[in-house]
Structure 1
């Protein structure tokens, strides 16, 4: 929020300079983001009146002016401004004046004519970029008056960065209350006297949705002059608050909003039919807003309507068709309270924002409506004339926000703050910010006023005590206490452990946006209905990702464009999928996954090892190392992102946890990544699970090794055979491993020979041949039974 320091000081004027005031506001929780002067430093510029303006004898675009600058004699000044004319009041820089940029004014000759000063534009004063001509001042501007004093240029523009809970400070009155509380300076808010109605003109108001709008004030004003000029003092305050003056009626509603914090709206009463209704939008209704945007209203949109049509989007913006114009004669003035829950996010859902929505969605003082409409009525009557009707107040008191008392335990507050404040001091501090405090035994019952939506629990009150007492006044005491090591299961790993494991294998971590291109979801995930963003930050970031891999492929493409051929990257991040029972948001599942991509050489180019491109089995080894000592298994998989026949599902303890494979050639070509990278993606939770190694003594007994060459059908996976053999192995078998694959002479074309090495050992005795033969026979028998296998070389 931006405001003028001079305007603020009309409400509260503490004995502090601008810098001290800005620091005080920041330390009180109202962070001053920027403080800049209204105008740069300059001197020697006064209000002057042009008495004569004649054409320069030697230049077509120059005029020779006789100027009264209050010096006792007329000054001759040569001016090139196109609008210089007799009778104008303008700023005049006298000889010796200093303009912005250390530009000194001296007597000079211009095309043979002496000039004793300079007539100034707004740009030359540094107060505007307008350089179209001289800055024209009002006719009643006093000649000879210092221009800084006349235009109130010794002012500072404060921009404060408010947290969403401090909606009460989105007005000059709110900021003034805070300044008065923390400086103990006198607070003098504008006096608002009720305007006596002189006409019976009124409109009935119906609250069809009292939960969203429990109070609505409306007033009819007849015979106003909408073409009246907004006073210069009001224009100046609006401009210095970042608002552009538009017309008297609009400027007055904006002024009251800035002054008191209550958004108002002025309707052209002649365009309203019958009663005013605050209701929900009907199916198919549309509204042309004041910003020129036509919106299709949703059934949960709160609107202001008459008997025939929608007039405004409640608490957000008025409609173009019923807004006031320069021809408006009768005005219907609105001052309402809209519940924050009914307004929050409404403007953003339509792709814009407004000052009214910014305030209502954070919480506006629900008791302020009648006072604000009286203030606006008085300003309209004083500036635009007209006659006021009675204020119609529609209210459902039971739906207004409750302000229950909050119990504050002084002893707890002292313990948390580390400051010794007695109960009386706490009460005095809280009452300075208009909180009603009533002692209740050893506690204090504190009731917040209607404009403080942020005070709901005891911690809110303790925070108030801290900032009112002053954060600078709280001693910095080093914390003391005993720390206890928390128990942590050794079978669980942290995400950082997983990151370090991948980094140790040569991968670099990346962090990509969760917002991705819709084409990525369609190509890599076959996702035709991705989760779309209502307001994407860019057109190429319009949907939420359901996989991390597309982002890694994009990283690879970027690296390839920069001549980086060997790339190994990984990411740990959240994905987003539709799921009816999803948590924490119903309808959406948000798993955290880890994905990696490898492309280029297996190792960096070097003399000691022959160059070889990374393949499926290299990345499979990295994935298995990530899960060690737990063992993974793999099975064929068809996946839209992966090369057919070079893709596998990753299984842990029989459950699928992810996938692994080479990127499909179509996407390699489309996304211009050169050679095909190999990728994997698995659930992070599965990678965080570990298994503690169990100690076993080293046997002193000799081990026995037997090799089994089994002939099986070519389509039988070796991993499946290995799994069955291990399941059938007796207690003597300590290890079974595959060490050879053979196709060729002596083997049918539709079959293959797999050679397994079986290691057998007992820790207490030497094995006998009969025991070894029996164990091997059991393995062969199981392979025959399940796979129809036979020993290579055996007679069929």
Structure 2
């Protein structure tokens, strides 16, 4: 929000200088982002008229001008501005003047011709950035008057960085209430008179967008003068607010938006056909906008249309074909209330950001449209003439927001702020802010005006008291209170401990955005159950991530592009799936590439492989104390994993994640340039820990029996382990795989595995017969379940 300091001071008495005003606004939560003084040091600059102009005898681009400065004989001034011509009125810096920027005006000779002053551009005067030519003043500007007096200078352009919850301060009238509360003064808002109806023209209005557009007002003004020039006072206020004056109609709508905070739009009434229809856009509907771009719309957009065509994207921008031009004599003024949710994100979806959308998506006072329409009509008639038709109103009262009273307790206010604020001061603050105050037994009942969308609960009212009373007036005190220490459950591993374990295994933690691009997910094959954002930050951040791996791999690519060959990253975060509401699942993901070990001399260099990551998984699983409940399988792999170097991870037979190398096609598509191994697991199963239980040291010795079996290559070790453990039960204390062989003596497609069975009974010493029976049972189970054969 950018505005003129002088304009604000007209609306409210401010007993403070510019610096104090800026400080007070910032401390009240209305941060002054930029303050630009305008027109300081213009003593000696007056309004002048060029009464003669001839070409300089020694320079093609210079003119010798005769200038009437209101002091007798015309002055001779050499000027190089392209728009210098007879009849225009411009600023003249007389000899002795000191312009902003340290320019001193002295008598001089330019190419042999004497010059007694300088004709100035707006930039040279420090009141604008335009340096394309002389600042042209209106034809009725009084010659000889000091320019500062004529332009209402000095002034300052103040730009506020407003938070999204304060849309009421996007208009000077709303901001004036805050300033009045800060300085203990009153707002001097003009009373808005009703413009008399002098024209008969009217047009029907139909609301078909439901709660998205519950109020729409319009008015036809006929017979305006399209050549009418915006008065200087209005043009200067626009300029100091960062808006360039364009035409009387456009300038009036912009001025009312700045003054009241209500965006308006003007259509060329002669281009409209039939009734105005406020409706939702149809899928694929196209509209050429004011800036010449073509908007492709969907059902989420609200449109202003007539009986035959679309006219404007509601709350964002008008259409090109119905715009006001230099020959427009009849206009249709629009003033409406649109629900913030209906406008939010629509401008960004079209690649736009407009003053109207900036206000509507934050919330505009639903009571403003009528006042804004009357004010705009009043100004337009005064500037360009014409005849105003009746105000046309269409509204759905049931869909309009209603102010709700909020209770504020005196004890709660003191407890939160830590300071006593007098009842009279509390009442003054809320009254100055335009709120209705009712005293109750334990405090106040406050009803905020319809412009204050942010007042919803007691804490909002306490914030209002704090910022107006002044944070500097609230003493700093150490908080006091009893803290309850949380008890960490023993049956659960903390996430911090998991992070520390991964860091100890040479991984770095990464933190990525929860949003990713849809096309990136498509390359991974994630196309189902996606959560799409209605209001994405950008097209590349339009979908909630269904997996941590795409973001982690992008981080890995970023590191590899910066000469990091060995990259090891992990992330603990949530992934999202479609549902009502969307399903959030805490997950752990690991990505790694490059050498298995950091560069050193003790071990030969080798590339990271599947078993390295499997070892990291085993370490994490071991923390739970029940590694036998975990298994890996070669079936059921997703498309992004290498079919021969990947595994499905299960706990108690339920799939909880995947492990292995990325599929070569995906690696090429992502331009990884190296083998990348990944692991992703649901986090919750990893955090479950079996409580340790004390047991007596076994009194009886263990017995070991070694067996070697011949079985198909496709049978995994996890299948063998589960089969043997299921068969022998608690009598099997440990199963150790100590050899794998394939080659001579073993059929093609088969392998030989040698394992040790550690057997033990808590109540007696096992005999050879007991051990032999266990071996026979294990072999029989392996023959039946795994197609194994005992090797001699």
Any residues of structure 2 matched to 1:188-227 within 5 Å, and which? 188-208=188-208, 211-227=211-227
Cα distance, 1:475 vs structure 2: 1.6
1:663 aligns with 2:662: yes
Q: Which residue of 2 aligns with 1:643?
A: 642
Paired residue for 1:704? 703
Q: Which one is further off, 662-671 or 233-242?
A: 662-671
Q: Counterpart in 1 of 2:692?
A: 693
- Aligned partner of 1:652 in structure 2 is 651
Q: Does 1:719 align with 2:713?
A: no
Matched, 1:104 2:76: no
2:301 and 2:58 map into 1 onto residues whose CA distance is 68
CA separation of 1:419 and 1:358: change in aligned 2, threshold 3 A:
same
Indicate conservation of the 8 Å contact 2:345/2:534, yes or no: no
Whether the 8 Å CA contact 2:345–2:536 is kept in 1: the answer is no
1:681 counterpart residue number: 680
Q: Which residue of 2 aligns with 1:456?
A: 456
Question: Which residue, out of 609, 614, 617, partners 1:615?
Answer: 609
Q: How does 1:246-395 map to 2 (within 5 A)?
A: 246-281=246-281, 286-299=286-299, 301-395=301-395
Report the Cα distance in structure 2 between the residues aligned to 1:267 and 1:557, rounded to whole angstroms: 52
The 5 Å alignment of 1:412-451 reads 412-451=412-451
The CA distance in 2 between the partners of 1:659 and 1:66, in whole Å, is 86
Q: 2: CA distance between counterparts of 1:526 and 1:217?
A: 47
Q: 1:513 to 1:189 in 2, by over 3 A?
A: same
SS at match of 1:328: coil
Of 149-158 and 528-537, the range deviating more from structure 2: 528-537
- 2:472 aligns with 472
1:597 aligns with one of 591, 594, 607: 591
CA distance in 1, matches of 2:672, 2:450: 61
Using the TM superposition, give the Cα deviation of residue 373 of structure 1 relative to its aligned residue in structure 2, in angstroms: 1.9
Q: Aligned runs of 1:167-206 on 2, under 5 Å?
A: 167-206=167-206
CA distance in 2, matches of 1:425, 1:539: 49
- Deviation, 1:114, is 3.5
Find the residue that maps to 1:10 and give its secondary structure: helix
Residue in structure 2 matched with residue 634 of structure 1 by the alignment: 632
Distance in 2 separating the partners of 1:187 and 1:106: 46
Once residues 177 and 378 of structure 1 are traced to their aligned partners in structure 2, the CA distance between those partners, rounded to angstroms, is 24
**Is 2:504 aligned against 1:504?**
yes
Structure 2 SS opposite 1:651: strand
RMSD between aligned residues: 3.1
Comparing 731-740 with 551-560, greater Cα deviation is found at 551-560
How far the C-alpha of 1:490 sits from its partner, in A, is 2.0
Task: Find the residue that maps to 2:90 and give its secondary structure.
Answer: strand
Aligned 8 A contact 1:349 1:534 in 2: no
In 1, the alpha carbon distance for the partners of 2:429 and 2:725 equals: 76
Cα 1:702–1:403 change in 2 (3 A) is same
Stretch moving more, 691-700 or 223-232: 691-700
State how far apart, in whole Å, the 2-side matches of 1:438 and 1:539 are.
49
TM-score, scaled relative to structure 1: 0.90
Question: Which deviates more from structure 2 when the two are superposed, residues 451-460 or residues 306-315?
Answer: 306-315
Q: 2:488 maps to which residue?
A: 488
Cα separation, partners in 2 of 1:395 and 1:782, compared to 1, 3 Å:
closer
Q: Deviations over 1:750-777 (max 9, x none)?
A: 5433222122345576544444444444
Q: Name the CA shift for 1:39/1:689 in 2 (closer, same or farther; >3 Å).
A: farther
SS of the residue corresponding to residue 138 of structure 1 reads coil
Q: Any idea what the Cα deviations from partners look like across 1:222-277, whole Å, max 9, x if unmatched? A: 32212211111111111222222221112111111211122222233333334434
Which residue matches 1:584?
581
CA contact (8 A) 1:525 1:547 kept: no
Q: Is the 8 A contact 1:437 1:445 kept in 2?
A: yes
Distance apart, 1:364 and its partner CA = 2.2
1:137 counterpart residue number = 137
Work out the CA distance in 1 between the residues paired with 2:774 and 2:283.
77
Distance change >3 Å, CA 628–CA 525, structure 1 → 2: farther
Single out whichever of 757-766 and 593-602 deviates more from structure 2. 757-766
| Contact 2:211/2:399, CA 8 A, preserved across alignment | yes
SS of the aligned residue for 1:321 comes to coil
Length, aligned pairs only: 787
Q: Deviations over 1:344-377 (max 9, x none)?
A: 3443444433322332333322222322222122
Cα 1:341–1:665 shift into 2, 3 Å = closer
Tell me, yes or no, if structure 1 residue 238 matches structure 2 residue 238.
Answer: yes
Q: Retained in 2: the 8 A contact 1:168–1:365?
A: yes
Distance 2:474 2:6 in 1: 31
In the alignment, the residues of structure 2 paired with residue 526 and residue 344 of structure 1 have an alpha-carbon distance, to the nearest angstrom, of 28
Determine if contact 1:79/1:118 at 8 Å carries over to the other structure: yes
After superposition, the C-alpha distances for 1:535-570 in whole angstroms (9 at most, x for unaligned) are 776666665544333444444444444443322222
Q: Residues 369, 128 of structure 1: CA spacing in aligned structure 2 closer, same or farther, 3 A cutoff?
A: closer
Which residue of 2 is the match for residue 156 of structure 1? 156
Q: Distance in 2 between matches of 1:419 and 1:289?
A: 54
Deviations 1:132-159 (A, max 9, x none): 3332333443444443443344222111
1: distance between equivalents of 2:498 and 2:478? 35
TM-fit CA distance, 1:656: 1.0
- Taking structure 1 as reference, are residues 395 and 541 closer, same or farther at Cα in structure 2, changes over 3 Å only? closer
Relative distance call for 1:584 and 1:38 in structure 2 (3 A) is farther
Matched residues in 2 for 1:562 and 1:443: separation?
A: 62
- Structure 1 residue 623, shift from structure 2 partner: 1.5
> 2:40–2:154: 8 Å Cα contact kept in structure 1?
no
Deviation (angstroms), 1:617: 0.6
Indicate the larger mover: 44-53 or 478-487. 44-53
Task: Return 5+ residue gaps in structure 2 as ranges.
Answer: none
- The 1:741–1:206 alpha-carbon spacing in structure 2 relative to 1, beyond 3 Å, is closer
Checking the alignment, whether the CA contact within 8 Å between 1:68 and 1:143 is kept in structure 2 is yes
Would the alpha carbon gap of residues 689 and 261 (structure 1) be closer, same or farther in structure 2, given more than 3 Å must change?
same
Matches of 1:342 and 1:516, distance apart in 2: 24
What is the CA-CA distance between 1:737 and the residue it aligns to? Answer: 1.1
Deviation at 1:483, TM superposition (A): 1.2
1:640-670: CA deviations, max 9, x gaps?
2232211111112221111111223334445
Q: Contact 1:406–1:457 (CA<8 Å) still a contact in 2? A: yes
Shift of 1:421: 3.0
Aligned mates of 1:298, 1:562 — CA distance in 2: 42
